[in-house]
Structure 1
């Protein structure tokens, strides 16, 4: 968070999404000086969290069944630096095929003595 240049302990944000969209592709976080209708980042052990379950569910992001990645893009909004969080389902981990010694019983060999 130091690279972004925002003190998340002291800044509150208004949260929005694209108008007219049923499913959110991006969420927008705009710093706000008023406390009414804003959200605050909470400090966790090694990260920050933002409690948005109602907004995410209403915008079609089912975070209970699918993990999501958020890509942060900075943009200028009314003279302040705001954030665009691009929402994308987390890519499943690629399973590496097992190349070691085969396990279990050996398959029966076809006999030539018939």
Structure 2
């Protein structure tokens, strides 16, 4: 297992007040927990992955995600069992939409 941590400062979009979870950890998939957190406008992401050695790819996927969703005061935890970058992006988008929908 490998743990990767990312932080994006100066987010402009706050989500809801209730944690949300999407996806299921199983062969080739992942789960995403997204929750509000007092982070001075930042978004922190922690990835625990069974696919060791793909930090550069994770970095690119997380930067792309933050460009689409510049979240503020949000913590995201990802448990991965080898999901493809497309699945990671899909699950992250679902998590954000779930969090924002809970705020409405």
TM-score (norm 1): 0.29
Q: Which has the higher contact order (CA 8 A, sep 6+)?
A: 2
Structure whose residues are more often helix by fraction: 2
TM-score (norm 2): 0.31
